[in-house]
A and B are shown apart, each in its own frame.
Chain A
Amino acid sequence: MLNIKELVFSYPKSNFEISIPSLDVKEGESLAITGPSGSGKTTLLNLISGILQSKSGEIHIDKNTISKMKEDESRAYRISKIGMLFQGFELLEYLSVYDNILLPYRLESTLRLDEIVYARATELTSVFGIADKLKKYPSQLSQGERQRVALCRALITGAKLIIADEPTGNLDPKNTTLVADMFLEYLKKEKATLITVTHDQSFAKRFDRQIDFMQLLQERKDV
């Protein structure tokens, strides 16, 4: 599913640089990346999803070379093929739960909102236990419920690669367990690949594989 080779990235006007010799993630695998704050974990996720462009090296997702795509191309690929899950959930406050879940289809003209998508939305909300909240707004939901809406949004396009940045960072332990169980079980069923950055060791242990980010790096330059 994912293949990284000799990836090098640095921010402009900064001495911060990350360099990853290689990383392979199989289809259907769940990978948790742990490491200290500021080490570049989120930067790696942004490189994989095409939000950032690497200085050199290659990132392949299936047969697509993300690292060589132009901005518009990688953006279109991301919205339709990669499910994004953010630490703060990042729901749009003025959209209902249902509209938040369907958001990718309203933002990308190549994605068609049809009966299949509506059926998928119904299935997801049922699986994640928020089917009765569809008309509510994010401000009316608990943190756990908001996270589940964000999960549904990440999965609505049927993406086979899910990238999650600290998905349980704002949840209490009870909700962490609840969300993690639902999420990982669903992904296993869909044979989707999950790459997560997390500080939560108990959450990381549920994944197929754990990697310490510092071990991934070839050499880290920092001032």
Chain B
Amino acid sequence: MSDLFYLLSRYLLFYRTKIITLSFSLALVIAIPLGLSLLSNMLSDHLKTRALSTPLLLGAKGSALDLSISALYFGEQELPVMKYKRVDELRKSNLSEAIPMYRKYRVKSSPIIGTDLDYFDFRSLFFKEGRPFIRIGECVLGSDTAKKLDVKVGDTLISSPESVFDIAGAYPLKMDVVGILAPSLSADDLAVFTDIKTSWIIEGLAHGHEKLEKTPSAILKREGETLIANASVMEYNYITQDNIDGFHFHGNTDAFPINAMILIPKDHKAKTLLMGRYMSDHKSLMLIEPKKVIQRVLERVFDIKDVAMSVLLLLLAATFAISVLVFTLSIRLRKNEIETLKRIGTSKFRVRFLLLSEIITVILISTVLVFISIMITYLFGDSLIYYFL
């Protein structure tokens, strides 16, 4: 038998281009639909898990899908804002816990999520290093963000300016990195978390500067005991223990913006009451169940997937037919070789072995390639999905 395998190896080596092309073609048309199916199932599980773990989302009236994607996966959708006072209203109602979220700014490509400490408990996020933020000007990084920005606890980060051309807009704030989260294979790995007040400082709704008494040239006018500064006053862009007391908010924080709120109803009755209150006819707010929104999206995705799969299956059938044609032609072209082998005195078994082994080899190589690609999809699919989400 070793001699037969030797002859087979010589044949495969001589016609390696044909063998490799056929094997890869077959592997591709089998692996793509299988991989697509696996990825779509993983995506579905991923989306559902995040959505199922978030009972309710409250946001300003608008697109339920945008609210879900932005709040759950920190997508770049621009959401309308609602007032922070809604948080206190809900907390006081005793119907649910309320976790505010404000996403508008970034550190390079990582979104800054203004929230509070309850978020980490809610998402069961653990710290690999450091601690949560406890004052304004501090931030906590997701594990991938820390790697990407190459920062560690004790370093600082600067928020990215909204626009270099808008000098009156929000300007960069330098923040202390006080914690890095353990990997959670979710959108949280790719974010920068700060206290919500820090987000407002980046927005320009709060600021800190030197005491005007110390810089008379910065005083525009006095109105009684109030000093009004002119444009020359230098605002702090880094909050330290020394200047933190100089930071103040202009205006009522109740009116400050947030763009989403995670609600965790105390019980089913509380949930029903909340839904009754917000779901219909509310002028400015909407309450959604993320799992239902995501389910609708997935149904549409799977409809599209079915169409794609049908096309791919047609492609598979076509490739299979072409492969059969190639093998049939190959056997025909080897007719002289078969005759020669018979006339020399080769047994029928050996002739059949040499003929069929080409087909078997292509099938085996394709199978191995399909197996490897599916294993890669299985092992790295999760990472791929949450990276693109």
A interface with B by C-beta (< 8 Å): 49, 51, 72, 75-80, 82, 84, 86, 88, 90, 92-96, 99, 103-109, 113, 137
Partner of B10, one of A49, A77, A88, A95: A95
Identify which of B10, B341, B344 gathers the most chain A CB atoms within 10 Å of its CB: B344
- Residues from chain A with Cβ under 8 Å of B6 in the complex: 106
Q: C-beta contact mask, B1-41 vs A, less than 8 Å → 1, else 0? A: 00110110011011100000000000000000000000000
Question: Contact: B345 with A108, CB < 8 Å?
Answer: yes
Q: Does B336 sit within 8 A of A, measured CB to CB?
A: yes
B interface with A by C-beta (< 8 Å): 3-4, 6-7, 10-11, 13-15, 336-337, 339-347, 350
Identity of the chain B residue whose Cβ is nearest the Cβ of A74 in the assembled complex: B345
- Residues from chain A with Cβ under 8 Å of B346 in the complex: 75, 79, 107-108
Identity of the chain B residue whose Cβ is nearest the Cβ of A92 in the assembled complex: B337
Closest CB in chain B relative to A104 CB, distance in Å:
6
Closest CB in chain A relative to B340 CB, distance in Å:
4
Question: Contact: A75 with B7, CB < 8 Å?
Answer: no
Q: A94-B10, A94-B15, A106-B7 in contact; A75/B340 too (CB < 8 A)?
A: no
Q: A93-B14, A94-B15 in contact; A51/B3 too (CB < 8 A)?
A: no
Identity of the chain B residue whose Cβ is nearest the Cβ of A79 in the assembled complex: B345
Q: A90-B336, A99-B10, A106-B3 in contact; A51/B343 too (CB < 8 A)?
A: yes
Closest CB in chain A relative to B351 CB, distance in Å:
9
- Residues from chain B with Cβ under 8 Å of A86 in the complex: 340, 343
Distance of A40 Cα from B340 Cα, bound (Å): 19
- Residues from chain B with Cβ under 8 Å of A76 in the complex: 345
Question: Contact: B344 with A79, CB < 8 Å?
Answer: yes
Contact sample, A vs B, 29 pairs, CB 8 Å cutoff: A51-B342, A72-B347, A75-B346, A77-B345, A78-B344, A78-B345, A79-B345, A79-B346, A80-B345, A82-B345, A84-B343, A84-B344, A84-B345, A86-B340, A90-B337, A90-B343, A92-B337, A92-B340, A93-B14, A93-B337, A94-B11, A94-B13, A94-B15, A95-B7, A95-B10, A106-B3, A107-B7, A107-B341, A107-B345
Identity of the chain B residue whose Cβ is nearest the Cβ of A153 in the assembled complex: B344
Identify which of B14, B342, B343, B345 gathers the most chain A CB atoms within 10 Å of its CB: B345
Given A93-B337, A107-B3, list of 16 further CB < 8 A pairs? A51-B343, A78-B345, A82-B345, A84-B343, A84-B344, A90-B336, A94-B10, A94-B14, A105-B3, A107-B7, A107-B344, A107-B350, A108-B345, A108-B346, A108-B347, A113-B3
Closest CB in chain B relative to A109 CB, distance in Å:
8
Question: Contact: A75 with B11, CB < 8 Å?
Answer: no
Question: Contact: B3 with A104, CB < 8 Å?
Answer: no
Distance of A174 Cα from B154 Cα, bound (Å): 91
Partner of B4, one of A78, A88, A106: A106
Identify which of B336, B337, B347 gathers the most chain A CB atoms within 10 Å of its CB: B347
Closest CB in chain A relative to B15 CB, distance in Å:
7
- Residues from chain B with Cβ under 8 Å of A105 in the complex: 3
Distance of A95 Cα from B14 Cα, bound (Å): 8
- Residues from chain B with Cβ under 8 Å of A107 in the complex: 3, 7, 341, 344-347, 350
